[in-house]
Copies of this chain bind each other. A is one copy, B any other.
Amino acid sequence: MENETPLDMQHMLEQTLSSDLCYLMAVSYIVLANNQVTNRYIEREYDMPVHAWSALYAIVTYPGLRAKDIQHLFPRPQNTISRVVALLERRGLVHQIVSDQDGRAKSLLPTSAGITLLNEIKEKALERQDEMFGVLNDEERRTFLNLCRKIAAGQRLCHSEAMRTS
């Protein structure tokens, strides 16, 4: 077991998190690992894609927003959001009303069932968050969040120059 590969799998991750691309790799690792856990859980327990609960979260938290607005919170392609909103409506979790200001737009509002379900999922998400970030103390958490906020506020995060697809 110890002599074919000169690789120590235990240290492969640590090495990668010290390489040129350490920042990208670190964030990527955390999120891929979390997705494996969270996506599976939401899909099993609630029989919906993870992004359905993201959309539900947005609609419950900011009732009246348009599908378009959800993209500001959860950057996903437009059609993905369109579909999960349709799913949420089929399940009676939200309803859409055509905006009187703009006949193209639809205001999204949660039903009480939607609010109830979101609270249930949110509780689980909070537990999960505590689990993931439990390794950090309070100050470290604050620091981490502030750095994330800075990164999120960066203009180039959503509009890349390096990877422009022209």
Contact = CB atoms under 8 A, between A and B. Distances in A.
A33 B151 CA distance: 11
Interface size class, chain A: 35 or more
A74 B28 CA distance: 8
Contact of A17 (B34, B134, B148): B148
The prevalent SS among residues of A at the interface is: helix
A47 interface: no
Interface string A131-166: 111111000110111011111111011101111010
Interface of A: 1, 4-7, 9, 12-14, 16-17, 19-38, 40-41, 44, 54, 61-62, 64-65, 69, 72-77, 99-101, 107, 122, 124-136, 140-141, 143-145, 147-154, 156-158, 160-163, 165
